[in-house]
Amino acid sequence: MPQAPTPQIHHVTHPLVQHKLTLMRDKNASSTTFRTLLGELAMLMAYEITRDMPMQAVEIDTPLETMQSLMIDGKKLVFASILRAGNGMLDGLLRVVPNARVGHVGLYRDPTTLEAVEYYFKMPTDMDSRDVIAVDPMLATGHSAVAAIDKLKSLKPRSIKFLCLLAAPVGIATLHAAHPDVPIYTAAIDRGLNEHGYILPGLGDAGDRIFGTK
Ligand code: URA
């Protein structure tokens, strides 16, 4: 019998990532601390998610001679932030890949069905020649991630990856069932969800903690 493909999960277990994530989970961390740590984590995870990015040789002049040297084609990369918590990772990602373009996907969760409803979508032009990293710190039910990637795929980008901090097993399963070709990068796989769709043990509402709205 053919085997179902295994979800492409990249669990980033680097000690620095795990240490900073533990500090973020603490309910006593202030918004400032939370935001700073999220930015640092985004930088560290950018290192992992860009590991296989295509490179090109360019000619440069060192003080001594001319040489061919490798560079990432950063202009081809798009960070697609899933609003609003995705924005908390953008600064860190852009510090590492400053030439990347940025798109935004606005989705809200219907509080009854927990389904994602789109209210905003803005991406750079020429998406068919770009590699996209969709960013949302929390992969909970997976509905927003699936809806965002459905929409992104309609623009036919070269590739799509999904970057989060925490993933719930059901979110991974839902995203993988809808988009088995999209690898998921996460710093942790938590136990599950509560009745409101929050990740357990989790870190609470990421948007509220980033922006201090609660
Ligand atoms: N969104 C959040 O901000 N937190 C969760 O735990 C789940 C979804």
In the chain the domains, ranked by start, together with CATH numbers, are: 9-211 (3.40.50.2020)
Tell me which of 27, 110, 135, 138 to substitute to probe ligand 1's pocket, judged by most ligand atoms within 8 Å of the beta carbon. Answer: 138
Confidence of residue 2 (pLDDT cuts 50, 70, 90): low
Tell me which of 27, 205, 211 to substitute to probe ligand 1's pocket, judged by most ligand atoms within 8 Å of the beta carbon. Answer: 205
Q: Tell which atom from ligand 1 comes closest to the C-alpha of 208.
A: 3
> Which DSSP category does 177 fall into?
H
Alpha-carbon distance values, 161 to 6, 38, 85, 190, 194 (Å):
15, 19, 17, 20, 26
Q: Tell which atom from ligand 1 comes closest to the C-alpha of 206.
A: 3
139 neighbors 117 (Cβ within 8 angstroms): no
- Which pLDDT does position 115 carry in this prediction? 74
For ligand 1, residues with CB inside 6 Å are 85, 138, 140, 197-199, 202, 205-207
Question: What's the mean pLDDT in 114-126?
Answer: 89
CA distance 179 to 183: 9
Res 1 pLDDT > 60: no
Burial of 120 (0-12, 13-18, 19+ CB in 10 A): exposed
pLDDT, tens digit (0-9, with 9 covering 90-100), for 42-73? 999 999 999 998 889 999 999 999 999 999 87
CA distance 13 to 117: 33
Res 99 pLDDT > 70: yes
Res 150 pLDDT > 90: yes
Helical spans, DSSP H, in 50-199: 87-96, 143-153, 169-178
Q: Whose CA is nearest to atom 7 of ligand 1?
A: 198
199 neighbors 24 (Cβ within 8 angstroms): no
Report the catalytic residues.
109, 113, 205, 208
